[in-house]
Amino acid sequence: MASLPAGAARRLLLSLVLCLSLSAAASAATTRHHEWEISYQLKSPDCVRKLAVTINGQSPGPTIRATQGDTIVVRVNNSLLTENAAIHWHGIRQIGTPWADGTEGVTQCPILPGDTFTYTFAVDRPGTYMYHAHYGMQRSAGLYGMIVVAAAPGGPDAEPFAYDGEHDVLLNDWWHDSTYEQAAGLASVPMRWVEEPQSLLINGRGRFNCSASAAAAAEEGTCNATLAECDAPVFDVVPGKTYRFRVGSLTSLCALNFEIEGHPMTVVEADGHYVKPFVVNNLNIYSGETYSVLIKADQDPNRNYWLASNVVSRKPGTPTGTAILSYAGGRSPPPTTPPAGPAWNDTMYRFRQSEATVAHPAHVEPPPPRANRTILLLNTQNKIDGRVRWALNNVSFKLPHTPYLVAMKRGLLGAFDQRPPPETYEYQSYNIYDPPPNPNATSSDGVYRLQFGSVVDVILQNANMLDANKSETHPWHLHGHDFWVLGYGIGRFDPKVHPATYNLKDPILKNTVAVHPYGWTALRFKADNPGVWAFHCHIEAHFFMGMGIVFEEGIERVAELPGEIMGCGKTKGGRH
């Protein structure tokens, strides 16, 4: 190497020093500031122009990258014209910051157009997380993204697996109808269902067939398959190397199956917890879940391979979502047909994958041996005033207009129904394989109030819908906690029988879990995070139609609430 002039050498030295000091800073806990502007933009994620709610002009929004122990500060400026916003940090437990959970009606008032809201929270665990709007059906409009938290180097949470590089894969489904139209249809009598999505997106990109069908003709003038915006994403790999793919799903409706053609995947992480490694040809992933899988780039490097996202659990009406795994940096489509995924109605295939997901032996966090309280929730489709709704133990959830967190902390009377929702249902006599004999239900914004520090079991019992011979998969997401997944079953849960089958040895901790058709899922958590926390089906339309509940625990231990979460309902105009 030729010698450098003195000036250049000095500059190089300075750069090196700067670079080293930055590296040092990155390994210590740090505060990461983000400035976000929420706005409408006309985007063509699947080649069809549609209005999207974006962050800094992008949908998905920027990936938040941090290291375990960091503090994240996101200043959200709402530049929508007439619409409010709220952003939830999915999988982040918000320990000590329950007001930053971003759940409109539960932990905060919505952010008004022109207003700024600052979310500040710690990322205390490594793993793969996500963020998304938690207001009306705004998530479906494009306001979502990924959070990647690296393990603190050398710490106890370092990954029990090795890899050479990593890629992020965020899955979604996408409609050409607006979320406003969807919500109006769902609330109509008769209900206008959202139907199957037009496209499946990978990292915000899909490909609608602009020229094929009658449906395509309907998009005339707005569909343009030559846009770079809807080019398939490409994931580059170097032959012989091992890659970690962080895969998350924020679908509004679809259960998905994700496959990397010709590359078996070793599942190593789920919802931020290390998994006892197991190999799959394809990965079932439900809305609200994240996984890390390892693949080895050991296939013929002279061609490309498909990444494929396919609908499962509902009869698919949407083409495969695709992206490209590229060995040589080329962008050309693989010479094959994209993988079609498993049979959409093979429930047991998915059930077994759920059961296979247990804690990594070196990272087992044993659950408390027994619960102080057990809540058994029957999940049914119902009708209230002619409207189709979903209910738990015949109570359909509706959000109050004053956030629970403020209403409870300040003792605001009349902000929500003080009567507790039911703990159980008539499980001895209910036939889960028939439509509800009496589909009537009631609406309530009542809350399950938990004793602080107590251990709570929840069993989610699936059942037949209003139509005969129909039961769907519901991915349930708990805010503010991870829970142990104690067991799954198909059929009716029997409190006298099934608890004996629980996995108390190495259950995985998760924040989102599937309840399979006609099945049940049992989970356990410790009510040790002061705050108010939503627990709901992560299908956007289902939560909108009442499939959720709310827990309160230790509200008296919550520190002084920041004023910026207020301003609506009974906290309007400083009346709190």
Residue-wise burial string across 539-556, b where 16 or more C-beta atoms lie within 10 A, e elsewhere = bbbbbbbbbbbbbbbbbe
Using CB under 8 A, which residues numbered 31 to 90 contact a copy of itself? 39-42, 51, 81-85
Check residue 220 for interaction with a copy of itself (CB under 8 A).
Answer: yes
Question: Hey, what are 493's tokens?
Answer: 């849960």
Using CB under 8 A, which residues numbered 108 to 127 contact a copy of itself? 109-110, 112-115
Check residue 219 for interaction with a copy of itself (CB under 8 A).
Answer: yes
**369 vs 574, beta carbon nearer a copy of itself:** 574
CB of residue 539 to a copy of itself, shortest distance in Å: 16
Q: How far apart are the first and last CA of the chain?
A: 70
Radius of gyration of the chain (CA): 24
CB of residue 134 to a copy of itself, shortest distance in Å: 11
Binder of a copy of itself out of 135, 484, 520, 551 (CB under 8 A): 135
CB of residue 53 to a copy of itself, shortest distance in Å: 9
Say how many C-beta atoms besides its own lie within 10 A of residue 129's C-beta: 23
Which amino acid would we find at residue 431? N
Binding segment toward a copy of itself, per CB under 8 A, in 173-181, 234-242, 260-268, 292-300: 173-181
CB of residue 253 to a copy of itself, shortest distance in Å: 17
Using alpha carbons, select from 312, 426, 421 the residue that is nearest to residue 378. Answer: 426
Binder of a copy of itself out of 137, 377, 527, 532 (CB under 8 A): 137
**184 vs 238, beta carbon nearer a copy of itself:** 184
**8 vs 184, beta carbon nearer a copy of itself:** 184
**Quick check: 337 and 322 in contact, CB under 8 A?**
no
Binder of a copy of itself out of 4, 16, 28, 218 (CB under 8 A): 218
Distance CA 290, CA 273 (A): 10
Binder of a copy of itself out of 156, 221, 369, 437 (CB under 8 A): 221
Q: Which DSSP symbol is given to 111?
A: B
Using alpha carbons, select from 318, 254, 317, 340 the residue that is nearest to residue 289. Answer: 254
Check residue 183 for interaction with a copy of itself (CB under 8 A).
Answer: yes
Angstrom CA distances, 513 to 103, 296, 545, 547, stand at: 19, 28, 19, 14
**32 vs 410, beta carbon nearer a copy of itself:** 410
Distance CA 426, CA 431 (A): 10
Check residue 217 for interaction with a copy of itself (CB under 8 A).
Answer: yes
CB of residue 387 to a copy of itself, shortest distance in Å: 13
Residue with tokens 């004996």: 500
**Quick check: 258 and 280 in contact, CB under 8 A?**
no
Binder of a copy of itself out of 68, 107, 128, 138 (CB under 8 A): 138
Find the Cα–Cα–Cα–Cα dihedral 348, 349, 353, 356, rounded to 10°: 60
Using alpha carbons, select from 123, 170, 119 the residue that is nearest to residue 142. Answer: 170
Angstrom CA distances, 119 to 35, 102, 280, stand at: 11, 8, 37
CB of residue 477 to a copy of itself, shortest distance in Å: 20
Residue with tokens 């706005």: 39
x/- letters, 365..404, toward a copy of itself (CB under 8 A): ------------------------------------x---
**55 vs 72, beta carbon nearer a copy of itself:** 55
**151 vs 187, beta carbon nearer a copy of itself:** 187
Check residue 571 for interaction with a copy of itself (CB under 8 A).
Answer: yes
| 194: exposed, middle or buried (Cβ count in 10 Å: 0-12, 13-18, 19+) | buried
Check residue 192 for interaction with a copy of itself (CB under 8 A).
Answer: yes
CB of residue 445 to a copy of itself, shortest distance in Å: 11
**Quick check: 160 and 198 in contact, CB under 8 A?**
no
**Quick check: 399 and 393 in contact, CB under 8 A?**
no
CB of residue 407 to a copy of itself, shortest distance in Å: 13
Question: Hey, what are 240's tokens?
Answer: 């012989």
Using alpha carbons, select from 290, 297, 320 the residue that is nearest to residue 307. Answer: 320
Binding segment toward a copy of itself, per CB under 8 A, in 90-98, 134-142, 329-337, 340-348: 134-142
CB of residue 573 to a copy of itself, shortest distance in Å: 4
Binding segment toward a copy of itself, per CB under 8 A, in 104-112, 305-313, 331-339, 374-382: 104-112
Question: Hey, what are 263's tokens?
Answer: 């590359």
# binding residues, a copy of itself (CB under 8 A): 48
Residues forming the site for a copy of itself (CB under 8 A): 39-42, 51, 81-85, 109-110, 112-115, 135-138, 178, 180-181, 183-185, 187-188, 192, 214, 217-221, 401, 563-564, 566-569, 571-576
